[in-house]
Amino acid sequence: MVAPLLCRNFAVELHCVPAYTFNAVDNGHRYDQVYHLNDEVVQPSTLHTVRVISRTDDRVTTTCILTASGGTTGIHENSAVVHDDSLVIAVGPFIVSLQLPSLEINWKTQTDQATCFGIYHSSKHRCYLSHGELEIARLSYQGKVEWTHGGADIYANKFTLSENRVEAIDWNNDVYVWDIATGRAV
């Protein structure tokens, strides 16, 4: 588990659940909401849980589980960001925005064909950047893809966000740099 993310008087905990049987009576946990992000019913490869906890009395106020097929996404320091009153999180090939503290879905966008390794926020450019396995994408605050770029191989190495540029290094150690505002190669 990574450190909880903070939003006003709430803490948001994220967990990766390796196995969970939906509708089983012997599940150790129940969730207020269950979101299957793929349109078709498939066996999920990524299952993330979200718990919103009141910072005033340490009470769990809302929970959900997010599932997706495709490549597996883990939980780490770049798995999610809190922006305004939303949690924006990478789940399989999707980036999802959840309203805080209710955890209702604001929007979901598939930004990669395989999986998203992480999500980043650029307040200067008023956007999010998705570090996908096959594609780097810029999303608006409403979840619309504004530009996307693939490479010669998977983006399995370093990903860096600076003030005006995003840099990704693929499996072959080829370096790709784009202007955040325009998406043009630099």
pLDDT at 43: 79
pTM over 0.85: yes
Q: Are 154 and 133 in contact (CB under 8 A)?
A: yes
Q: Length of the chain, please?
A: 186
pLDDT at 1: 61
- Nearest C-alpha neighbor of 5 from the set 137, 92, 101, 91: 101
**C-alpha 56 chain-centroid distance:** 27
Work out the pLDDT band at 115, boundaries 50, 70, 90.
very high
pLDDT tens-place string over residues 134-167: 999 999 999 999 999 999 999 999 999 999 999 9
Whole-Å CA distances, 157 to 2, 20, 117, 118, 152: 21, 30, 11, 12, 13
Q: Are 121 and 145 in contact (CB under 8 A)?
A: no
Strands 159-161 and 145-150: unpaired
pLDDT tens-place string over residues 15-74: 998 777 777 777 777 899 999 999 776 778 899 999 999 999 999 999 999 999 988 889
pLDDT at 41: 66
| β partners of residue 49 | 15, 65
Strands 46-54 and 60-68: antiparallel
Whole-Å CA distances, 161 to 39, 56, 70, 78, 180: 31, 34, 25, 12, 9
Whole-Å CA distances, 174 to 119, 128, 159: 21, 23, 12
